[in-house]
């Protein structure tokens, strides 16, 4: 098993699942794994820390939820690097210190972040001799967040285009189900805008521009410090048990504490079942592989700073690719290919050619 993935997976177990409530499922990035874990900890009298957008959606920061109603702010992906600060009574404090304060009060705490975030918290608590028996660490299968400048410029470009402030924003909107992900933006003037995430300037930059440290990440494979790692259960198909067209979460569990937390999940609300660990890892390379640096990284990043996100993406993609993507031709081609059974199409063509011969 070490030869296949480059590290020992014998201590890991995998689970898959999704919310049975369709509204909750559709509001989640994948199957609602983070939300069900959060609800479980809140039912235990605990608090939940996770990342939310700033009020203008141009940045992200930490937030603490102590009721289920407050969990809505934490839902879905952000894809930008977050400030490790949290606003408490109008004052910004270190999120690590606030977590320590709750643990010192004897409260259960669920902390969700990237691999580097959970490691930093773990080190902070150890350095300050904080008892972590009631702490649950959850990290996310990370593809490398992009810089907040990408979100800032994307939002500002939308607001200029629609002549109105963005009042709601999501980069994992399920317009047609789990995939493909869409961007959703609602404006103060009532207008709504959607586009495929990976056809957007935001999505393009996300794939090309991460923080420098992401290209030498130390928190992959055996180096995850979290009790549970969450992600999408990529690779699952409609013919496989546990599939849901609106999303399926993957839980990779590393510790006994993580397993015990999963046992507390209300299975009347959430469909949880065992998953094939090797299959899950096969389709989630980012659990153990470091992101490759884009060959034109330096020039692309410099262009974002110098000429802005939109012009930088246009310059990097080139006219033809940019036009095909933005004109909707790419989406149309993909839709046609998905609708047509190409295997049968080519089989019939072969038959006709053979019969003519």
C-beta neighbour count of 137 within 10 angstroms: 26
Closest CA to 87 of 117, 52, 115, 122: 52
Predicted TM-score (pTM) of the model is: 0.90
Q: What is the pLDDT of residues 210-243, one digit of tens each?
A: 999 999 999 999 999 999 999 999 999 999 999 9
- DSSP output for 27-47: TSSSSSHHHHHHHHHHHTT-E
**Consecutive H or E run containing 88:** strand 85-88
Sheet containing strand 13-19, strands side by side:
91-94, 85-88, 60-65, 47-53, 109-113, 135-140, 228-232, 249-253, 13-19, 270-274
- Better-predicted residue by pLDDT, 104 or 324: 104
Taking the C-alpha atoms of residue 188 and residue 33, their distance in angstroms, rounded to an integer, is: 31
Judge contact between 3 and 27, C-beta under 8 A: no
Binned at pLDDT 50, 70 and 90, residue 65 comes out as very high
Q: What is the mean pLDDT of the chain?
A: 93
Of 122, 116, 52, the C-alpha closest to 80 is 52
Average pLDDT over residues 176-195: 97
Instruction: For 256-288, give one letter per residue: b (16+ CB within 10 A) or e.
Output: ebbeebbeebeeebbbbeebebebbbeebebbb
Q: Where are the domains of the chain?
A: 2-143+214-287, 148-207+295-318, 327-357
């Amino acid at each position: 098993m070490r030869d296949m993935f480059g590290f020992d997976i014998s201590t890991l177990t995998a689970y898959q699942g999704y919310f049975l409530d369709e509204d909750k499922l559709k509001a989640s990035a994948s199957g609602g794994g983070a939300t069900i874990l959060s609800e479980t900890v809140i039912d235990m009298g605990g608090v939940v820390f996770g990342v939310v957008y700033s009020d203008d959606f141009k940045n992200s920061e930490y937030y603490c939820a102590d009721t289920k109603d407050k969990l809505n702010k934490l839902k879905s992906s952000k894809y930008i690097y977050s400030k490790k600060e949290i606003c408490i009574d109008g004052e910004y404090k270190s999120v690590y210190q606030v977590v320590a304060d709750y643990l010192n009060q004897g409260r259960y705490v669920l902390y969700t972040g990237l691999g580097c975030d959970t490691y930093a918290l773990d080190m902070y608590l150890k350095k300050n001799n904080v008892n972590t028996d009631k702490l649950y660490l959850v990290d996310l299968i990370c593809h490398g967040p992009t810089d907040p400048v990408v979100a800032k410029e994307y939002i500002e470009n939308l607001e200029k285009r629609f002549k109105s402030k963005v009042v709601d924003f999501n980069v994992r909107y399920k317009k047609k189900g789990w995939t493909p992900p869409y961007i959703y933006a609602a404006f103060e003037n009532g207008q709504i805008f959607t586009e495929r995430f990976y056809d957007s300037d935001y999505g393009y930059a996300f794939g090309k521009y991460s923080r420098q440290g992401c290209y030498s990440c130390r928190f992959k494979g055996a180096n995850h410090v979290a009790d549970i790692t969450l992600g999408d259960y990529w690779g699952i198909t409609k013919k496989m048990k546990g599939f849901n067209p609106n999303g399926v979460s993957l839980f990779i569990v590393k510790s006994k504490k993580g397993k015990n937390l999963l046992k507390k999940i209300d299975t009347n609300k959430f469909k949880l079942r065992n998953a094939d660990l090797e299959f899950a890892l096969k389709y989630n390379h980012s659990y153990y592989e470091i992101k490759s640096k884009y060959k034109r990284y330096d020039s692309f990043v410099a262009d974002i700073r110098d000429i802005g996100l939109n012009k930088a993406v246009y310059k990097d993609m080139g006219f033809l690719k940019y036009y095909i993507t933005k004109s909707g031709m790419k989406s149309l081609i993909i839709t046609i290919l998905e609708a047509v059974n190409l295997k049968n199409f080519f089989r019939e063509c072969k038959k006709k050619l053979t019969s003519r011969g």
